[in-house]
Each structure stands twice: as C-alpha cells, then as structure tokens.
C-alpha cells in the first residue's frame, strides 16, 4: 500500500515509503529473516533489494478492537487480553470514507495530523491506503496505552473529528485495533 507524508495519511503521497501488512493466525514470520520469499514473494523481495534503504518489520498480537476491513474482522471470538499498560502498544485505525464525505474528511486531516506530530509518547506513525483518498489507515506505535489514549480521546482536535465522523456518518466501514508489540526489527539496506 502507498503511504502518506508526515507520519499520517496525507493528500500528498510519500513515494519513498510503502507498506505491506500481513495478517496470519499462526506465527509464520521470523523477525530475523528479512529475505524470506516464502512470505513476501520474489517480486516484493526484489523491490526491497532494489529500492529500499530501510525495512521495518513489527510482529504484533491483537488484544482489543472492533470493526472490519473490506468486510473482514481480525478479532473474532475470544481475544487475548493483555493489561492496558502493556508497553509499547500499536494501533491500526482504518476507514472507507463515503464519497459524499470526502471533502469534509480531507479538510479535517491536516489539523489532526499536525497534533499527532508532537504527540507525547508517539514512537512511530505511518498513514497507508490501498485506494488513494477513499480507503485510509493509520498505523502507530505508542510508548504506552495511556499516551495513545491521551492523543485519541483528550486532544480537542481529534475529539472534534471523532464526533463529526459519527454525527455526519463519514465512514462506510471502519476498524480500530490495538496490538501487543511482540518484536520489532529495523534493517538497513545493503
């Protein structure tokens, strides 16, 4: 998927940054194996070798969430519950924006993106989208659940947008997932 600039989704794409998300029920990704064509395939591995100077791989376990992504839910049945204070945590928010809400949505993005830049406890953030301008997601890692909740639920700019999305029914579909970060590895290009 393509990525936006400035650590969130953005109307301007970041053509030097790409995202691949793999959802699996079993542990099949080895954090020490960045050359596995079994997982990513030859095309993607060759793309990484040719164009990438850094690859970040993060192993996650979902522990809380709701909603769906193209009709699929990623937390079904009993979920693994970790104490809210598990540190660090990761969050994936995703939405399909209704066509009639696109202008309102994109007008609201810069204000929230700007507040995210300086959010206390933010480790990493990237905006991704599989269909530009309509299907958007933000993946972020936080030092603690408290830091994430401070940004998501106590910042006036973000709270205002959350209220508008509900009141004006901006989304045809949305999803919010929290993850325990099992491991992270960053590999520099050769």
Which of 85, 88, 76 lies closest to 23 in space, CA to CA?
Answer: 76
73 located within any domain: yes
Q: Please give the Cα distance from 85 to 99 (Å, whole number).
A: 38
Q: Please give the Cα distance from 175 to 92 (Å, whole number).
A: 8
Asked whether 104 and 168 are in contact (CB, 8 A), the reply is yes
48 located within any domain: no
Q: Please give the Cα distance from 143 to 100 (Å, whole number).
A: 36
The pTM (predicted TM-score) of the whole model is 0.82
| Range of the structural domain that residue 75 is part of | 2-12+56-185
45 located within any domain: no
**Number of domains within the chain:** 1
Cis peptide, bond prior to residue 154, ω within 30 of zero: no
41 located within any domain: no
Q: Please give the Cα distance from 141 to 139 (Å, whole number).
A: 7
CATH of the domain at 170: 3.30.70.100
pLDDT tens track, the chain, 190 positions:
777 776 666 677 777 777 877 776 555 555 455 545 666 777 877 777 777 777 777 888 888 888 888 888 877 655 555 555 568 999 999 999 999 999 999 898 888 888 888 889 999 888 888 887 898 888 999 999 889 989 888 888 888 888 999 999 999 999 999 988 887 777 665 5
75 located within any domain: yes
112 located within any domain: yes
Burial of 24 (C-beta count, 10 Å sphere; 0-12/13-18/19+): exposed
51 located within any domain: no
49 located within any domain: no
């Amino acid at each position: 998927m393509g990525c936006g600039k400035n650590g969130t989704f953005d109307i301007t794409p970041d053509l030097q940054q790409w995202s691949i998300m793999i959802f699996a029920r079993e542990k099949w990704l080895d954090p020490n194996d960045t050359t596995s064509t079994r997982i990513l395939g030859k095309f993607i591995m060759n793309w990484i070798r040719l164009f990438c100077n850094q690859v970040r791989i993060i192993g996650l376990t979902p522990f809380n969430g709701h909603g769906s992504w193209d009709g699929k839910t990623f937390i079904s049945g009993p979920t693994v519950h970790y104490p809210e204070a598990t540190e660090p945590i990761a969050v994936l928010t995703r939405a399909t924006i209704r066509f009639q809400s696109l202008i309102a949505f994109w007008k609201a993005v810069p204000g929230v993106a700007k507040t995210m830049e300086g959010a206390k406890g933010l480790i990493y953030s990237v905006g991704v989208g599989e269909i530009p301008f309509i299907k958007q997601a933000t993946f972020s890692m936080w030092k603690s659940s408290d830091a994430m909740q401070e940004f998501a639920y106590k910042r006036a700019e973000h709270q205002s947008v959350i209220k508008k999305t509900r009141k004006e029914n901006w989304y045809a579909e949305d999803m919010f997932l929290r993850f325990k970060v099992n491991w992270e590895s960053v590999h520099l290009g050769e």
